[in-house]
Structure 1
Amino acid sequence: MSQNGDVNQPTREFPEYTRGQAEPVPAAARRTDDGPVHDGPADPPATGSGGARRAGVGFFWLAGALALALVVGLGLNSAGLWPSWRNPFAEERTDRSQPPLLTSIQNLSRYVAAEGNFQVVIDLQSDRKYVPDFLLNDRTLFVGAGSVESYVDFSTIAEGAVVESADRKSVEIRLPAPQLGKPNLDLEKSYVFAEKRGLLNRLGELFGSDPNRQREVYQLAEERIAAAARDSGLADRARENTRKMLEGLLRSLGYQTVTVTYTAP
């Protein structure tokens, strides 16, 4: 056992500190191995890697919260629980058309025996003599598709057109010649392939456009289709199909001989 009487005494508190709270030690009392520490400006607190780590963790949590909010918003929008976002510059179409008006009803007695489908390419150009094309020129390349029907009008059959034999085994029918209907231009299959307009033509559109500018092209396409139908033998096909139809119908009624003739158009 040590002879020093202070050894067995309870540990004393350092005079520089109080219990529960540390107080700075006076600079005069602090010493180092190299000598006393002199008073001077305090060193700035070190932030170093610890502050950068805390900033990175905060940014990570912020990004995660934004991603979670985006996923939840998309889920609510797809489920119809969230109001849809509309583009303020989206195109909107308003239909102010009036309801259709029935003008007339006609009873038809036509037997459509054949139909021809046609396609025509219209290359229409309008220009001025001695004026360059880049100034005044209007050229349209239009592809038109349409159909023409060939029919026999049974409403014009005169009295006595059907002659039956005495033994009711044969019958003779006189019909009007087949006719060609008006060309029916199919707008879904028709389109403007190319269009070239001069500088003055384009400037004129700024002050007023012509809504019937393509009407001439449509009319020309219908005329070309009608001419092609007349030269295609469509009426002869209708004549033959009508004859076959009547022969099959009358023979099913018991007639053995069926003669179909056509009057001059």
Structure 2
Amino acid sequence: MSETNLSPLWKVASSVCAVAAVVALLLWLVSRLPELNPFAEETVDRSGPAILQSVRDLSRYHAAAGDFQVVVDLEQDVPWLPDIIAGERTLFVAAGSVDAYVDLGGLADDALTVDEERRTVRVELPPAELAKPNLDQERSYVYDQDRGAYNRIESLFSTPDQRELYVLAEDKIADAAERTRLTERAERNTRTMLTGMFSSLGYTAEFAGEPSVS
């Protein structure tokens, strides 16, 4: 009597164990052989070729560069509603560089004065300038983001716009570059480069604002 009652349960248990064993085996095979995974993602680049839109002649001598990192803490609050319902706060880690350059193309006609007798070249250089910050995409990322319920639902139906984060990061890095001595370093390096170039031609370089070589 007892064997008759247990027989169906034993069959069900055996079937469940068999299915579990098969599933476990399949999962093991997929972990060892990823190509067997039917749900594996495949990345396909369907982008078209880059198109040349313009060509410019460059005359800037990039003589110094600074690397910067900044954490942008941006909060978008909704008045009269608690943050758990609506609002968003994002911590964005941005890394980038700023070049300091001297625009040699902006030299005036009388910026170079050659004295063949003394074998000197007197140069009047324009002041160095800072280029626009160049953010490193691989080292810039969203570190943390807190959203209210409304913002979470909204993000399901729209693509997040991170342009404001990048603009703020560029502005902060540009401000930081202004407080450094990058331009002074660029001017010094430019004078060193020109001194070596003119020296190889047999001339001594002199620069406006510096005492002349007697």
Relative to the length of structure 2, the TM-score reads 0.77
Q: Which residue of 2 aligns with 1:259?
A: 206
Q: CA deviation at 1:105?
A: 1.0
Flag the 1:85–1:190 CA change in 2: closer, same or farther, 3 A: closer
Q: Which residue of 2 aligns with 1:46?
A: none
SS at 1:251 equivalent: helix
Give the gaps of 5 or more residues in structure 1.
1-73, 75-83
2: distance between equivalents of 1:92 and 1:176? 53
Q: CA deviation at 1:166?
A: 4.5
2:158 maps to 1:209: yes
Q: Which residue of 2 aligns with 1:144?
A: 94
2: distance between equivalents of 1:85 and 1:150? 49
Flag the 1:93–1:172 CA change in 2: closer, same or farther, 3 A: same
In the TM superposition, 1:87-236 aligns within 5 A as 87-206=37-156, 208-211=157-160, 213-236=161-184
SS at 2:95 equivalent: strand
1: distance between equivalents of 2:49 and 2:81? 47
1: distance between equivalents of 2:35 and 2:46? 26
2: distance between equivalents of 1:119 and 1:246? 32
In the TM superposition, 1:40-51 aligns within 5 A as none
Q: CA deviation at 1:126?
A: 0.3
**1:165-223: per-residue Cα shift (whole Å, max 9, x none)?**
251422211121111111000010111110111101111123x2134x21100110001
Q: CA deviation at 1:231?
A: 0.9
Give the structure with the higher percent helix.
Answer: 2
May I ask how many residue pairs the two structures share in their alignment? Answer: 177
2: distance between equivalents of 1:111 and 1:91? 46
SS at 2:137 equivalent: coil
Q: Which residue of 2 aligns with 1:247?
A: 195
Give the gaps of 5 or more residues in structure 2.
1-28, 210-214
Which of structures 1 and 2 has the bigger CA Rg?
Answer: 1
Which runs of structure 1 show a deviation greater than 4 angstroms over 4 or more consecutive aligned residues? Answer: none
SS at 2:42 equivalent: coil
SS at 1:188 equivalent: helix
**1:42-95: per-residue Cα shift (whole Å, max 9, x none)?**
xxxxxxxxxxxxxxxxxxxxxxxxxxxxxxxx9xxxxxxxxx962211112222
**1:118-162: per-residue Cα shift (whole Å, max 9, x none)?**
000100000112210100111100110000111111111121211
SS at 2:102 equivalent: strand
SS at 1:201 equivalent: helix
Matched residue type, 2:60: R
Bigger relative CO (Cα 8 Å, ≥ 6 apart): 2
